Structure 1
Amino acid sequence: MSKLFTPITMKEVTLKNRVVMSPMCMYSCEQEDGKATPFHLTHYHSRAVGQAGLIMVEATAVQPEGRISAKDLGIWNDDHIAGLKEVTEQVHANGAKAAIQLAHAGRKAQLDTPIYAPSSLKFNDSFKEPVEMTSHDIEETIDSFRKAAKRASQAGFDIIEIHGAHGYLINQFLSPLTNRREDSFGGNRENRYRFLGRIIDAVKTEWDGPIFVRISTDEYDEKGNTMEDILYYTKQMKNDGVDLIDCSSGGVVPASIPVYPGYQVKRCDHIKNTVGIATGAVGLITTGIQAEEILQNNRADLVFIGRAMLRNPYWPKVAADELGEDLEAPVQYKRGWQ
């Protein structure tokens, strides 16, 4: 059997295959209240029908001011649980596991209300200037991740991913490009990691399932985090009980990014085999053969499929056909699949 369609178990959660629907913002909350809509139910349900092993719900804001846009999903109060629970129930009904990406946009929030960041630095001239977070703001935000983890459990999710990439709030604390603080949350990399470390600890008080963290493994700026810094952070995450590093890149500051098939896999491979932690590969992975190569060469443990799965909810079926695998069809679709 191909490795792409081999099960994998993390903390008693078994994925039937290594195909992950990557978290992708849909900007589709109709009432701007953070609640799941019929679109979200259809969107995630269809990818579970398509036989991905793990369906990861998009960046979901732990605070209203942490939304990327006013139409983002939220998990900042208990009113959000019911809609998210409908999503997980539909995902589970099709044999997939459900994950949620807990997020805070920080200075990249595009809202009419005040936005917050570790330092009062705009992303670019098109973005608002953020308010520098006080110690109280930081503690409130850490606690918001804790409360979000509890709600994620109540909604029936199997895995939590903490969004520490793409220049959003956690990434802003991690990066010297965006963190100019002079307190215990800024300065050297130990201090810059403190915010994420505290969030991981807070989440664990409410959650005993697998925890993933998405990070930007390359900031595409010579003054940003080096690979040595990234390895330091990932070692700390491993020690803090994180199960998998979702290896993306960019988004911290405006930058020109050279994009090509599998362009982020090299760093994913390096982190996995240097730190000894499971990793997820993402970034222009479009075919089953490409995904299988990554897994067979031990460059990652999971493969996150983004845009290719937007184009085709049944991407796993196409990949299985490429690899000569007989992918079990949903009962309703057997006549067409077999």
Structure 2
Amino acid sequence: MAPSASLENVPAANTPYFTPAQDPPAGTALHPESAPTLFQPLKIRDLTLQNRFVVSPMCQYSADDGHHTDWHFAHLAQYVIRGNALTIVEASSVLANGRITPEDSGLWKDSQIKPLKRIVTFAHSQGQKIGIQLAHAGRKASTVAPWIRTGGNSAVAGPDLGGWPDNVWAPSAIKFADGFAEPREMSLADIQELVQGFKDSAVRAVKAGFDVIEIHGAHGYLITEFLSPLTNKRTDKYGGSFENRTRLLFETIEAVRSVIPKSMPLFLRISATEWMEWNGEPSWTLDESIRLAKLLPAVGVDLLDVSSGGNNAQQKINLHPYYQVNLAGEIRDELKKEGLDLLIGAVGLITEAEMARSIVQENSNGNGGGSHPGTIEIEQENGQKTQADVVLMARQLLREPEFPLRVAHQLNVDVAWPNQYHRAEWRKGQKI
């Protein structure tokens, strides 16, 4: 006798191998009407995230000529199966000389599509979404992996280590710091090659099946270097004024947007400040980030991922748990004042359930907005007003890949777990 349909171990659709369907995907609130915003769905163009947890790109320095390996699959899969709505693959260089190290991820040639497609297929089989960050390291390229460096200092990767210290690009020939290569000022032809590289890599990302593309304009890499008057001393149309210093970014956005589907979200990560205001010279500041953010909706950017720093070795950061979240909140406030539709992502030191909840909570007096048993109230200036639409995390997920599931438990939100892990769910009220 044929088994009843109700007893079938239903397979995931559109997957070339058997894996059980996850319906709903892990991390989905089972009672969304009473869940806090953190566990409410978010629609971005045609993409819907079942919660507000996003995995930040995390460089692993473990690729083979830019190609992902089993390490990358194992690294990324742990976040996919544990309830993060969107996982973003690490900074992947659009040109070979744009890697931070010779072992960086890349998407500058077609052969790099296949291993990326493997993790994309797996993410989709779990009902989850996956993106990729496209990048060029600029003057911070051709170094060795961080665990090889001595005394915390960087070190140049020479040709014997697969590096390219004689072909490191920057807007101006200004070295980042000791232990980095001497960059050369990019020609107009180099700039055209770079923009084409982003465009071609975006085409490959679409072929791999990614749901989201993020342009890396943060942390002192090439686009950041063009934005900052400290590192961009050019006298042509790519240097000087705000309009000129942002020109490369807007050309890159236009190039990427032109080759991806209208339904596909486009993110941008920036450093909201260089943390160089102290030195009295013009630098990239929060005010310029706000000015930039106001221009992004019109060119097809859907979410601004707000980080900071990384462009100057002399930066002075006032470090506290909300040092970057507050930057995101200020940008979001200014956009809301003008009725501009741009989602905001907050990053950095998000390690606790109540902090994550409060950053994105939209209605402190409505369903799911009040405090939950066992959580800690946080003062308004530290996140009780809505600061962002999603939270992006990296180091906390390295320590605790199941962070979204733990947060749900601590906030008393019932969420779906992976079918195969259902016996591991914490008991109601269990302290963890």
Q: TM-score, normalised by structure 2?
A: 0.76
Task: Identify the residue that residue 263 of structure 1 maps to in structure 2.
Answer: 323
C-alpha deviation, 1:134, in angstroms = 0.3
Q: How does 1:38-53 map to 2 (within 5 A)?
A: 38-53=70-85
Letter of the 1:283 partner, please give it.
Answer: G
C-alpha deviation, 1:91, in angstroms = 1.4
Cα distance in 1 between the residues matched to 2:50 and 2:70 = 26
| SS of the residue 2:245 aligns to | helix
Cα distance in 2 between the residues matched to 1:263 and 1:139 = 36
Letter of the 2:46 partner, please give it.
Answer: E
Cα distance in 1 between the residues matched to 2:41 and 2:127 = 12
Deviation larger for 235-244 or 68-77:
235-244
- 8 Å contact kept, 2:276–2:316: no
Task: Identify the residue that residue 47 of structure 2 maps to in structure 1.
Answer: 13
Task: Identify the residue that residue 284 of structure 1 maps to in structure 2.
Answer: 349
Q: Which has the higher helix share?
A: 1
- 8 Å contact kept, 1:165–1:171: yes
Is residue 379 of structure 2 the alignment partner of residue 319 of structure 1? no
Letter of the 2:354 partner, please give it.
Answer: I
Deviation larger for 253-262 or 289-298:
253-262
Task: Identify the residue that residue 332 of structure 2 maps to in structure 1.
Answer: 272
What do you get for the CA RMSD once the two structures are aligned? 1.0
Tell me which of 215, 220, 241 is aligned to 1:167. 220
- 8 Å contact kept, 1:61–1:73: yes
Cα distance in 2 between the residues matched to 1:194 and 1:235 = 15
Q: How does 1:149-298 map to 2 (within 5 A)?
A: 149-208=202-261, 209-222=264-277, 223=281, 224-254=283-313, 255-275=315-335, 276=340, 277-296=342-361, 297-298=385-386
Task: Identify the residue that residue 103 of structure 1 maps to in structure 2.
Answer: 135
Tell me which of 112, 116, 119 is aligned to 1:80. 112
Letter of the 2:197 partner, please give it.
Answer: S
Task: Identify the residue that residue 59 of structure 2 maps to in structure 1.
Answer: 25
Q: Structure 1 segments of 4 or more deviating over 6 A?
A: none
| SS of the residue 1:236 aligns to | coil
Residue correspondences, number: 336
C-alpha deviation, 1:272, in angstroms = 1.2
C-alpha deviation, 1:257, in angstroms = 2.1
Structure 1 alignment gaps of length 5 or more: none
Identity among equivalent positions (%) equals 44
Is residue 62 of structure 2 the alignment partner of residue 2 of structure 1? no
Deviation larger for 195-204 or 236-245:
236-245
- 8 Å contact kept, 1:44–1:91: no
Structure 2 alignment gaps of length 5 or more: 1-34, 144-156, 158-162, 362-384, 427-432
- 8 Å contact kept, 2:275–2:285: no
Is residue 218 of structure 2 the alignment partner of residue 134 of structure 1? no
1:164-194 superposed Cα distances (whole Å, 9 cap, x missing partner): 0000000000000110000000000100000
Deviation larger for 163-172 or 20-29:
20-29
Task: Identify the residue that residue 395 of structure 2 maps to in structure 1.
Answer: 307
Task: Identify the residue that residue 56 of structure 1 maps to in structure 2.
Answer: 88
